[in-house]
């Protein structure tokens, strides 16, 4: 009995010691911003002792009495560090909400200079993920926005490969300036000049075609003043925020995608055949008082004899050409993508390579893009994070004429059905053997679109590099400081060649080669202070500043007696790049060398935003931004653009009870935005000289062409928005 009692006493003593030790503990639940449990989250002391949360996010960590520093972490979320004081025998409760990492967002929404929970958003924002962007093959990523977000209208300019799309967010908000939205990639605005190459060939280039849709993680479309107000004048037409893919925390992920598709015209023009055209033309001729057979363009004139007109009419009836069929086709689209995501404890990386060839329905037209991207993230400690991104791309657009310029446009207008595209002339030797064949373009080659299709070679090449960097410093758990910079460099090379057969006067072959360069520099910094950071109430204040500089220049040559396009003649192309007169004179004659005027614009801004969350169902936001642009007169160079917004989640009210509606939110906003998309020379007094040799008292005559305007001011728009969201 004594031995048994002793053993029982030992067990009771050991058990009481375990209970006493367990009472020195920290326990609680780890969740995300929306209160969802985070299973397998790590809770660790400064000494390295730690536990994982269970399936419900619950944890219990035994600690020594006294002050303890705990680190809470979970993949895809920012680490949270808390210091607690645990008394002897105390089981302290500490519930933690982890904020999602700005790079690996899930249910959060990217907004200007930050992120917000969808519940907190007071502006009109639509989110489009990568699957929706790449689900359908489109000429470029912005064309995939059509039908993906309410209020966003996308119109393709011409259907040609590499052509620009017109994107309008909630219509056009300007009567005198540009209407294109601002595009921001990983926090840095990019260049988007649709007119860098002019509109030759009845088509503007697409500055966004160089972006690989498969590198995009998601897109946020900011529509109203509450969402775009933080961008001031730059957000007057809406903002499209593009977030690219990043690496993974651990391990390696490899992805490969290949696709092939076909495209055809969505509808064919209902063109008349030869019999229908001649019947209507004959009827019009007779209604106008004419007699006999009608005269036919390219064959006869109104003054031709009746016999000549009859012969031409009968000859025309022998030919029936479907020009639209000749200039259109079933286009093929191919795409290859390889992605590699990797990472370690403190770093992660994404690498992507893509090849894309996109043919259009117009014969001879195609756009080929090769691109590569690298995104690198480094977190040396829990207070510093470095994000680096870089991409390079090369886009080659094999151009053909369209619209008013010819090609498919001529096939639906000036190319008449009784015109044959060409006949083949064959040459035989004395023995009857075929020596050669040659296309003879009927009815005057200068009015035959097939001749221009065969005798004109035209290619545009764009080389683009975009580099961005961001440093996020968290000196205090409630303070984040972000410093960023970006560089966007674009070189557009335009190279065309016309065969001597098209020169009706001298029989010369002509070439045109030019290069346009655009450089965009961005630097900025902002700080966010969370003055109140409780579960149901928060107050965040953002202040920041940024500056942008844009430069452009270029040069070009008009060539005569060229032997072909410069892209097919490396020696000629190299000499044009190097401006080596002796070399390019050896292969062609330069009739004109010209320089595109150097242009530069500056932009400087300061901004602030306040977000207040009351009881996690009343949300308020106010923004203010001051923009300064060198494009405006010196008396009105700066503009002030404020906005205010509020949101109320009605479904979170205790009195709200509904079996059919689980989420109900009302939001409203007001804001003032400006527009700086005007010509950079609008404020200057411009003059021109008399170029026809006239003088006054022996001096050159100079006359004004545009008066100076130091009072040129911002165009401003005030917007009021209200909506009701339910689900």
Task: State the pLDDT at residue 178.
Answer: 72
Name all domains of the chain by residue range, CATH numbers in brackets: 2-97 (2.60.40.1120), 125-265+328-726 (2.40.170), 278-319 (no CATH)
Closest CA to 97 of 15, 19, 193, 32: 32
Mapped onto helix, strand or coil, the DSSP state of residue 511 is strand
Task: State the pLDDT at residue 445.
Answer: 60
Closest CA to 25 of 87, 75, 72: 87
Task: State the pLDDT at residue 203.
Answer: 63
Quote the DSSP letter at residue 650: G
Q: State in Å, rounded, how far the first CA of the chain is from the last one.
A: 71
Residues of the chain with pLDDT under 70: 1-23, 75-76, 100-108, 136-137, 139, 174-177, 194-205, 437, 442-446, 578-591, 690-694
Q: How many CB atoms lie within 10 A of CB 302?
A: 9
Say if residue 37 is exposed, middle or buried (CB neighbours under 10 Å; 0-12, 13-18, 19+): middle
Q: Is the dihedral of CA 690, 696, 699, 703 positive or negative?
A: negative
What pLDDT, in 10s, does the model give residues 294-304?
Answer: 999 988 999 99
Give the residue carrying structure tokens 């690298």: 374
Q: How many CB atoms lie within 10 A of CB 15?
A: 10
CA–CA distance, 476 with 455 (Å, rounded to integer): 68
Structure tokens of 189? 């605005």
What pLDDT, in 10s, does the model give residues 675-709?
Answer: 777 777 777 888 877 666 667 777 778 888 888 88
Give CA torsion, residues 481, 483, 484, 485, to 10 deg: 170
Instruction: Report the length, in residues, of the chain.
Output: 727
Task: State the pLDDT at residue 428.
Answer: 72
Task: State the pLDDT at residue 201.
Answer: 62
Indicate the pTM of the whole model: 0.75
Mapped onto helix, strand or coil, the DSSP state of residue 281 is helix
Q: Is the dihedral of CA 229, 231, 236, 242 positive or negative?
A: negative
Quote the DSSP letter at residue 187: T
Quote the DSSP letter at residue 121: -
CA–CA distance, 22 with 13 (Å, rounded to integer): 14
CA–CA distance, 82 with 71 (Å, rounded to integer): 7
């Amino acid at each position: 009995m004594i031995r048994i009692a002793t053993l029982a006493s030992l067990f009771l003593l050991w058990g009481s010691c375990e209970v006493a030790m367990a009472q020195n503990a920290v326990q609680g639940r780890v969740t995300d911003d929306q209160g969802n449990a985070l299973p397998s989250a790590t809770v660790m002391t400064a000494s390295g002792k730690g536990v994982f949360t269970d399936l419900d996010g619950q944890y219990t960590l035994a600690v020594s009495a006294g002050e303890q520093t705990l680190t809470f972490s979970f993949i895809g979320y920012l680490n949270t560090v808390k210091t607690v004081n645990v008394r002897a025998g105390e089981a302290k409760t500490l519930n933690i909400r982890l904020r999602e990492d700005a790079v690996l967002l899930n249910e959060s929404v990217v907004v200007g200079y930050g992120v917000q929970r969808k519940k907190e958003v007071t502006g009109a924002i639509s989110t489009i993920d990568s699957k929706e962007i790449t689900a359908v093959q489109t000429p470029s990523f912005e064309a995939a926005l059509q039908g993906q977000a309410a209020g966003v209208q996308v119109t393709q300019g011409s259907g040609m490969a590499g052509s620009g799309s017109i994107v309008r967010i909630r219509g056009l908000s300007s009567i005198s300036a540009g209407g294109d939205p601002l595009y921001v990639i990983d926090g840095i605005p990019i260049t988007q000049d649709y007119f860098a190459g002019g509109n030759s060939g009845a088509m503007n280039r697409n500055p966004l075609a160089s972006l690989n849709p498969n590198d995009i993680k998601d897109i946020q479309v900011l529509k109203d003043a509450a969402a775009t107000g933080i961008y001031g004048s730059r957000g007057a037409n809406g903002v499209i925020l593009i977030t690219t893919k990043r690496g993974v925390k651990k391990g390696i992920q490899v992805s490969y995608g290949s696709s092939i598709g076909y495209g055809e015209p969505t509808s064919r023009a209902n063109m008349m055949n030869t019999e229908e055209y001649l019947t209507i033309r004959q009827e019009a001729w007779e209604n106008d008082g004419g007699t006999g057979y009608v005269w036919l363009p390219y064959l006869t004139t109104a003054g031709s004899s009746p016999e000549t007109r009859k012969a031409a009419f009968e000859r025309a009836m022998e030919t029936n050409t479907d020009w639209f069929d000749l200039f259109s086709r079933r286009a093929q689209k191919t795409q290859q993508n390889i992605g590699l995501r990797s990472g370690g404890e403190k770093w992660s990386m994404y690498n992507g390579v893509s090849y894309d060839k996109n043919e259009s329905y117009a014969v001879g037209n195609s756009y080929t893009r090769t691109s590569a991207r690298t995104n690198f993230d480094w977190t040396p400690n829990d207070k510093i994070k470095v994000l680096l991104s870089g991409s390079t791309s090369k886009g080659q657009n094999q151009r053909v004429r369209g619209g008013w310029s010819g090609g498919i446009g001529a096939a639906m207008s000036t190319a008449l059905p009784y015109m044959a595209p060409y006949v083949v002339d064959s040459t035989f030797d004395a023995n009857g053997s075929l020596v050669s064949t040659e296309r003879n373009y009927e009815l005057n080659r200068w009015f035959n679109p097939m001749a221009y299709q065969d005798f004109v070679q035209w290619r545009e090449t764009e080389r683009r590099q975009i580099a961005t960097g961001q440093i996020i410093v968290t000196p205090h758990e409630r303070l984040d400081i972000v410093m960023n910079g970006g560089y966007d460099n674009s070189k557009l090379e335009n190279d065309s060649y016309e065969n001597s057969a098209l020169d009706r006067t001298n029989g010369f072959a002509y070439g045109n080669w030019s290069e346009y360069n655009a450089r965009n520099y961005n630097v900025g910094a902002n700080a966010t202070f969370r003055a109140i950071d409780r579960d149901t109430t928060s107050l965040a204040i953002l202040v920041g500043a940024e500056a942008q500089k844009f430069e452009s220049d270029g040069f070009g040559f008009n060539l005569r007696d060229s032997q072909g396009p410069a892209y097919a003649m490396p020696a000629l192309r190299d000499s044009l790049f190097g401006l080596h007169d002796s070399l390019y004179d050896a292969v062609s004659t330069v009739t004109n060398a010209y320089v595109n005027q150097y242009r530069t614009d500056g932009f400087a801004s300061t901004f602030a935003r306040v977000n207040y969350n009351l009881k996690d169902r009343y949300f308020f936001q106010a923004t203010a931004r001051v923009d300064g642009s060198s494009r405006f007169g010196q008396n009105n160079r700066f503009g002030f653009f404020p906005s205010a917004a509020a949101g109320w989640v009605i479904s979170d009210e205790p009195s709200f009870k509904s079996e059919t509606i689980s989420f109900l939110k009302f939001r409203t906003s007001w804001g003032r935005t400006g527009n700086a998309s005007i010509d950079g020379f609008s404020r200057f007094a411009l003059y021109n000289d008399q170029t026809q040799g006239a003088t006054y008292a022996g001096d050159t005559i100079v006359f004004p062409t545009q008066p100076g305007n130091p009072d040129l001011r911002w165009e401003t728009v005030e917007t009021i928005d209200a909506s009701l969201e339910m689900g």
